[in-house]
Structures are given as C-alpha cells and as structure tokens.
Amino acid sequence: MTYTREQILHTAKLLQPQLAKLPDLNLELQTLISQAEKGQPVEDDILSLLASNDRLREEALKLLSTDEKNGTKSASLPGNPTAIASTLRYECLECSKSLKSPQLGIIPKCPDHPNANIKAI
C-alpha cells in the first residue's frame, strides 16, 4: 500500500494534536511536516514516526484508508461522463420543449431545433 504525499501530510497534521503529551515526537513531527511542506521527501520518515507509537499507528492507518477512499472518489469526478448525464429528462433551450433521453448518457436532440442547446432538467 502506498500513499500520496498529500495523504501522509494531511494525516500527520490531523494526528499532531494527539502528540501534545509526547513532546519529543511532537517536535519531530512538526519538523518533518515543515520539511515536507518545503518539498523535501520526508514522507517515509513521517510514516515511520507515526508507526513508532501503537496508538498513533492505528489512528494513522484509519485516517489514511478513509482519506484514500475520498481521494479516489473526488479524483474520478472530473470528466466522468456518467456524472454529467445522470438524468433522462432534457429541455430544448429554443422552444422549452421537454425531451426524453432514450438512454442514460445520451443527450437527445430537439426535433425542431437540432442545433439548439439542450439542458438537463
């Protein structure tokens, strides 16, 4: 399982408040986060720091797997054709006639205005 730099950084920031009682780890994590924000490749160091504490490791894994699901979902949204054509009902912008799509994903044409813009309703 590999995680993106953003996922790791995000998780580290979420977990940082829990390190308040562990000043040594907290300081180290803070340093790593600021290094990561400057573009240094310290993701592995952050992961091993989080893994050095049982509770943190558990929390980190939980956050990383939740984050991963969200990341996949939002990443697949732009340009997803089924997300755009999720309706069967359309309307001709010329004559406001309502048109029915024969199938999801297919935008119907107005019989009277084949070049008119069609909007989903």
Binding site for Zn ion (CB under 5 A): 92, 94-95, 97, 110, 112-113
Which parts of 1-121 are beta strand (E)? Answer: 89-92, 98-100, 118-120
Task: Provide the minimum distance between the beta carbon of 91 and Zn ion in the complex, in angstroms, as a whole number.
Answer: 9
Q: Which two tokens stand for residue 65?
A: 């797997």
Closer to Zn ion by CB, 56 or 92: give it. 92
Cβ at position 62, least distance to Zn ion in Å: 53
CB 46 within 8 A of CB 29: yes
Q: Percent helix, strand and coil across the chain, each rounded to 5?
A: 55, 10, 35
Minimum CB separation of residue 85 from Zn ion in Å reads: 19
DSSP state at residue 91:
E
Residue closer to Zn ion (CB basis): 65 or 96: 96
| Residue 105 or 111 with smaller CB distance to Zn ion | 111
